[in-house]
Amino acid sequence: AADVVDPKTVRSHAQSIARQGGNLLDLVNQLLDISKVQSAVGTPDWRSGDIVAFVGMIVNSYQEMCHAKRIDITFAAREPSVTMDFVPHYVQRVINNLISNSVKFTPSYGQIYVTMRADDCKMHITVADTGTGIDKVDLPHVFETFYQSKRTPRIDVGSGVGLSLVRQMVMAMDGDMEVHSSPGEGTVFELHLPMKHGTEMLKAVDVDKYQLSPPPVPEEAVEPALGDDEKADDARPSILIVEDHADVASYIGQQLRGRYSIQFAANGCEALSKATDTVPDLIVTDLMMPEMDGYELCRQVRASALLCHIPIIVVTARATEADRIAGIAAGADAYLLKPFNADELRIRIDKLLEQRRMLRSMFAQDYTDSDYNPNEPFTGGDRKFLDHLIDIVNREIEGSSRNRIDIDRIASGMNMSTSQLRRKVLALTGLNTMSYVNQVRMSKAKHLLEEDAEMPIGEVAERCGFYDMAHFSRMFKQHHGITPTQFRARLT
């Protein structure tokens, strides 16, 4: 019988399709507007009217959206009313685009200011925010069509069309504009429009024609909820999906749920924090994200003693060879292009996890001292971690009493919590922390027996942290297949 599809799932998928269709329609409309402005197809509909009231109504329509995001939006005009010539459709597009960008890139409890002032011949409109800002290297390019920054999250999330359209519409009204911005401090756009257009009398602005109604509910309010799977007693491999677009993140999660335990993060900073807490088995990340992009996330993971072993798959729209090489150089193990094939993603994940399991079973359990082995599978970071752990374990053995090995103290020596240490050791060796510590103790016992044939076995046991000979003998036999006495007899 055919599988029964949950109506909620169907509805969620349909909503996602509708959202993405709406985004595509908006992009097509913007491209058509650019084409019309550039080619002068269709004479601009110049009108005369109160531009303060017109812009004020546009700003007011964003109150509900800003309230939902906990952003304070303020409108202030020096003159309560100014009658001038302008193209209502262009002004509406320009103000909508600038405010929408500010809403998108201003965090909760941030502020947006829209101000207006007139002089003898020009109207000056300013849209300012306390958002993420734009890098100074990108500022000269923000009005270029399809420009997407590799540095500044503010730009590289969009399509690179909106600001180009804004500038061309301002110029079509014989105006000019400028932008000022600093990363982490916010952005200010300034528009300067002439008060008069020609000498003929113009028709009055018909406000109802321009649909100055509140914009749709923001995407955050309707996008799918991205809940992490519960980690407790979950034996499945865990995968952290890092993607700022909720629909894309949800789709990736749907392809992997069932076989894997799924976690989500919306940017590199959130991902790094979550990975540090949970130490996932694999990370799937986008590159173009706010706050911290995928390149920096890869570098931070590879530089972390706790996380450096985790395989990383990049899934991105950045399709150039230079982008791919940059991703691999940053530490990615695989690089997939959007739109990606879901089967390929699943296979890549399976193979990377399988490789980790095979290497772990072949080599990792035998890594219990600091002797160099050219065939070992560990990266420099992993080897450094295990070397440090072995040193800490040996110090714990030397300071232990009555068989008491304190895992909490070992974790503290590694600057980790006990759960972080357990997940890291398990990922590298396939053993829990105590089992690996015992492996180190048995390796040390073996070396002591080999190095000094005269050392009493009781002293060997004590130097390995055992004060119960029967317990030491049983554990030695469990690890090496023979008792300490039998092992020593073979050496003679």
The whole-number pLDDT of residue 335 equals 94
**pLDDT higher at 46 or 36:** 46
For residue 128, the SS3 value is strand
**pLDDT higher at 220 or 12:** 12
Q: How many CB atoms lie within 10 A of CB 76?
A: 12
How far apart CA 315 and CA 343 sit, in angstroms, is: 13
Summarize pLDDT for 334-378 with one digit per residue, the tens. 999 988 899 999 999 999 999 888 776 665 555 555 454 544 556
- Mean pLDDT in residue range 218-222: 43
Summarize pLDDT for 304-342 with one digit per residue, the tens. 888 988 999 999 988 889 999 999 999 999 999 988 899
Contact between residue 86 and residue 47 where contact means Cβ atoms under 8 Å apart: yes
Run of H or E including 28? helix 7-39
Whether the per-residue pLDDT at 156 is higher than 70: the answer is no
CA 446 to chain centre: 46
Residue 2 pLDDT level (bands cut at 50, 70, 90): very low
Mean pLDDT of the chain: 82
**pLDDT higher at 399 or 15:** 399
Q: Which residue has the tokens 């629909």?
A: 247
Summarize pLDDT for 67-115 with one digit per residue, the tens. 888 999 999 999 999 999 999 989 998 999 899 889 988 999 999 999 9
Whether the per-residue pLDDT at 134 is higher than 70: the answer is yes
How far from 126 is each of 77, 115, 116, 305, CA to CA, in Å? 10, 5, 6, 47
User: Which of 88-92, 113-117, 241-245, 429-433 bottoms out in mean pLDDT, i.e. has the lowest?
Assistant: 429-433
How far apart CA 363 and CA 396 sit, in angstroms, is: 24
Instruction: Tell me the CATH architecture of domain 225-354.
Output: 3-Layer(aba) Sandwich (3.40)
The whole-number pLDDT of residue 153 equals 46
Whether the per-residue pLDDT at 220 is higher than 80: the answer is no
Burial of 423 (0-12, 13-18, 19+ CB in 10 A): buried
Residue 198 pLDDT level (bands cut at 50, 70, 90): confident
User: For 63, phi and psi rounded to 5 degrees?
Assistant: -60, -45
**pLDDT higher at 30 or 239:** 239
Q: Tokens in use for 323?
A: 């982008």
- Mean pLDDT in residue range 449-455: 88
Burial of 401 (0-12, 13-18, 19+ CB in 10 A): exposed
The whole-number pLDDT of residue 219 equals 45
Which sequence spans correspond to the domains of the chain?
A: 43-198+208-221, 225-354, 366-491
The whole-number pLDDT of residue 221 equals 39
Amino acid at residue number 491 = L
For residue 446, the SS3 value is helix
Residue 157 pLDDT level (bands cut at 50, 70, 90): very low
Contact between residue 133 and residue 186 where contact means Cβ atoms under 8 Å apart: yes
How far apart CA 232 and CA 289 sit, in angstroms, is: 30
Contact between residue 116 and residue 125 where contact means Cβ atoms under 8 Å apart: yes
Q: Are strands 238-242 and 261-265 parallel, antiparallel or unpaired?
A: parallel
The whole-number pLDDT of residue 1 equals 41
Summarize pLDDT for 383-403 with one digit per residue, the tens. 788 888 888 888 888 876 555
The CATH H-level (homologous superfamily) assignment of domain 43-198+208-221 is Histidine kinase-like ATPase, C-terminal domain (3.30.565.10)
**Long-range CB pairs of 474-478, under 8 A, 24+ apart, other chains included:** 475/438, 475/441, 475/442, 476/442, 476/445
How far apart CA 368 and CA 425 sit, in angstroms, is: 12
How far apart CA 39 and CA 173 sit, in angstroms, is: 15
- Which residue in 291, 266, 245 sits closest to 153, CA to CA? 291
Radius of gyration of the chain (CA): 31
Summarize pLDDT for 165-190 with one digit per residue, the tens. 888 889 999 999 999 998 889 999 99
For residue 337, the SS3 value is strand
- Mean pLDDT in residue range 233-240: 82
**pLDDT higher at 134 or 211:** 134
Residue 41 pLDDT level (bands cut at 50, 70, 90): very low
Instruction: Specify the CATH number of the domain 366-491.
Output: 1.10.10.60
Q: How many CB atoms lie within 10 A of CB 88?
A: 20
Residue 125 pLDDT level (bands cut at 50, 70, 90): very high
The whole-number pLDDT of residue 122 equals 95
Run of H or E including 88? helix 88-105
Residue 269 pLDDT level (bands cut at 50, 70, 90): very high
The whole-number pLDDT of residue 40 equals 42
How far from 20 is each of 25, 247, 248, 391, CA to CA, in Å? 9, 9, 10, 54
